[in-house]
Each structure stands twice: as structure tokens, then as C-alpha cells.
């Protein structure tokens, strides 16, 4: 069962490995990030970062969509982490069962608007986010389970 769908440009890091994995009692993490899925060193770094005893897959958006029927059959608590809004929107358009998305962190950049402590969205990211909101997806900003949760209503 997919317990958490998260947007986080840092992918696997302390907040995810130590807090969300425990909070969700996760047995598997699926990273959806085209750049990591096509780079062996990045993939190895993710393997190194994952908590012991947790399974890991690193997929491109396209691969992730193809794998979903199988993923749904797994008797595991699963966290999906997306590296960018582009991959997230691409995935959610093809897999509309995602109804809730946790916006964890995006990088600050030129022209970005800030929506939370660690969420900065530029024009493209706002457009991707708007597509999700238009579909009625519940988007909330929250870094860790202990931190406050804020609903993102519009961008």
C-alpha cells in the first residue's frame, strides 16, 4: 500500500530516512527521478542512503508508470519520492489514483515563489502543481511528521 507520495528534490536524506520511513513503517521506497534512474553513481548513492531493511527502487517516470500494477500487488508499506514536479505531474496524469501529495522540499531558484519553509516553485513547477490541483489532488506542505502541515490551495 502506498503510504506517502512526496516531492523532494533531495530524494533520500535524513528527514525521509529517519522520520517518514518510521512514521509510515515503510518497507519499500520507490524513487522516481529520471536523472538518478539513468546514472549509476546516483543510484549507488541512493542505495547507500537507504535505511537498512528497506527495499529500494529507482525508476524513471515512464518505468514507474509501467510498474504500478505490480506495485499495487505488493503487501508492503511504500513511500514514493519524486525528484521534481515534472515527474510528479507526469506520473499523476498517468496514474490518477494518487489523491494526496506531500510537498517536502524543492530548491530555491531565480523567479521562484516561496510557499513554505522549503518549497519554492518557479513558473514550470507552478504549472505542474496547478495541473495536480485542477485534478482535485490534495497537496500539503510538510517537511517531517513532527512539523506542521499546510495545505497548498493555489499557486
Where does this chain bind another protein (CB under 8 A)?
A: 14-15, 18-19, 22, 28, 41, 43-45, 47-48, 52, 55-57, 67, 70-71, 74, 143-144, 146-147
Query: Of 85 and 118, which has the nearer Cβ to another protein?
Result: 118
Of 53, 47, 141, nearest in space to 102 by CA: 141
| Shortest Cβ 47–another protein spacing (Å) | 5
Query: Of 98 and 133, which has the nearer Cβ to another protein?
Result: 98
- Please name the residues in contact with 53: beta carbons below 8 A apart, sequence gap of 6 or more: 27
| Shortest Cβ 129–another protein spacing (Å) | 23
Of 127, 139, 114, 118, nearest in space to 8 by CA: 118
Query: Of 54 and 93, which has the nearer Cβ to another protein?
Result: 54
CA distance linking residue 62 with residue 27, whole number of Å: 23
Amino acid at each position: 500500500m502506498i503510504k506517502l507520495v512526496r516531492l523532494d528534490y533531495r530524494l533520500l536524506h535524513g528527514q525521509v530516512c529517519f522520520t517518514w520511513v518510521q512514521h509510515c513503517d515503510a518497507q519499500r521506497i520507490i524513487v522516481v527521478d529520471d536523472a538518478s534512474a539513468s546514472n549509476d553513481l546516483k543510484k549507488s548513492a541512493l542505495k547507500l542512503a537507504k535505511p537498512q531493511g528497506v527495499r529500494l527502487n529507482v525508476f524513471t517516470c515512464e518505468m514507474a508508470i509501467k510498474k504500478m500494477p505490480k506495485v499495487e500487488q505488493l503487501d508492503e508499506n511504500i513511500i514514493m519520492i519524486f525528484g521534481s514536479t515534472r515527474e510528479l505531474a507526469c506520473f499523476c496524469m498517468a496514474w490518477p489514483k494518487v489523491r494526496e501529495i506531500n510537498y517536502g522540499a524543492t530548491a530555491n531558484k531565480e523567479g521562484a515563489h516561496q510557499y513554505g519553509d522549503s518549497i519554492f516553485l518557479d513558473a514550470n513547477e507552478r504549472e505542474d502543481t496547478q495541473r495536480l490541483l485542477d485534478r482535485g489532488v490534495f497537496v500539503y506542505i510538510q517537511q517531517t511528521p513532527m512539523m506542521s502541515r499546510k495545505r497548498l490551495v493555489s499557486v
